Amino acid sequence: DQQVKQNSPSLSVQEGRISILNCDYTNSMFDYFLWYKKYPAEGPTFLISISSIKDKNEDGRFTVFLNKSAKHLSLHIVPSQPGDSAVYFCAATFNTDKLIFGTGTRLQVFP
């Protein structure tokens, strides 16, 4: 039973445009959500997070939106850059317990 889902396995975006990566979850007890970025031959690295008491968190070009009623979060990257090309994982957790990851979305930013 996949508690965290990323339904788009891949996304292709032109440089300078907005990239929107989506994530859905089923467990209403999740209280913290994170996005990780993974380049080939490297481990995932933390990108941005959001608490369930907020609906938006912004860090530079990256913004995460949380819609609790829809159990949906999204990551916006504006403007997209070629260096953003990577696999993005969303993850969720409850009460500082273990993270549950989604299946990942491969983002490709082309010139």
Partner 1 sequence: DADVTQTPRNRITKTGKRIMLECSQTKGHDRMYWYRQDPGLGLRLIYYSFDVKDINKGEISDGYSVSRQAQAKFSLSLESAIPNQTALYFCATSALHEGARSRELFFGEGSRLTVL
Query: Which residues contact partner 1 by CB under 8 A?
Result: 6, 9, 32, 34, 36, 41-46, 49, 51, 89, 91, 93, 96, 98-104
Q: How far is the CB of 80 from partner 1 (least distance, A)?
A: 22
Which residue, 80 or 93, has its beta carbon nearer to partner 1? 93
Give the list of residues 6+ apart from residue 106 with CB closer than 8 angstroms, or none: 9, 10, 11, 86, 87, 88
Q: How far is the CB of 99 from partner 1 (least distance, A)?
A: 6
Cis status of the peptide bond prior to 44, with omega within 30 of 0: no
